[in-house]
Amino acid sequence: MSGWTRICLAAFLMVGCQTLGEDESEPLEAASAAPATAPTPSPRGVAPKVKPASQRILSASLGPVGPVCGDPRVIGAKIPSISGAHPGCAIEAPVSLVEVAGVALTGKAEVNCRTAVALADWMEKSARPAARKAFSVQLTAVKPAASYACRGRNGRKGAKLSEHAKGNAIDISEFTFASGQVVEVESGWRRKGAQRKYLRSVWAGACGPFGTVLGPEADRYHRNHFHFDVARYRMGNYCR
């Protein structure tokens, strides 16, 4: 291979050989590299709107759930009238609650509308604001310990009929917050700090919306829950 051929071949490999005798060589356009195709981003899934567990369960068993008692804060379902073995055990127009004033109920809560609206007032005026003050988070749920039950007071045989038997009462045993924290009445009532402060605040705040408010210091029957009922007395509210 001649020297010139080697030079031409080397030049061709770099930019291509040029013809001998040309006065000017036209500039060679570098082949433009095909732009890299950007990968198509995977579509981001949109999380489906999911009803609270308590609402899904109630919907499945009772049908549609929505505002009841003529109050948009009270979400639940109307249920058939309730009667018990005792003549005084009855709720003429009961509701089964799912959510009250934006706070879910995580257990069975069958009451009359007076009780449901009183519960909404307490949530709105006391339980929710106190949560923000004590923990800087929202109150998301409460756990009912009892609602309708055909029994005597404190479950004692032969005792005067409980307000639970009339749909006038609901018991609350624990509170859940947006942070995931759960505060139980029994353990938190005497614990120093924010839990105790919160529980004592909401206990006091229930006296007004409800005619009777009982807590862990009332008697041994209420050591692990709050009892709220709408019964009214001539002497005024009974809060202990």
Q: What is the per-residue pLDDT across 186-233, written as a single tens digit (0 to 9) for each? A: 999 999 999 999 999 999 999 999 999 999 999 999 999 999 999 988
Amino acid at 206: A
54 CB burial (10 A radius; 0-12, 13-18, 19+): buried
pLDDT at position 204 is 98
- Token pair belonging to 172: 């609350």
**pTM, entire model:** 0.74
Question: For residue 61, what pLDDT band results from cuts at 50, 70 and 90?
Answer: low
Q: Hey, what amino acid is at 23?
A: D
- The model's pLDDT over 147-182, given as tens digits with 9 standing for 90+, comes to 999 998 887 777 789 999 999 999 999 999 999 999
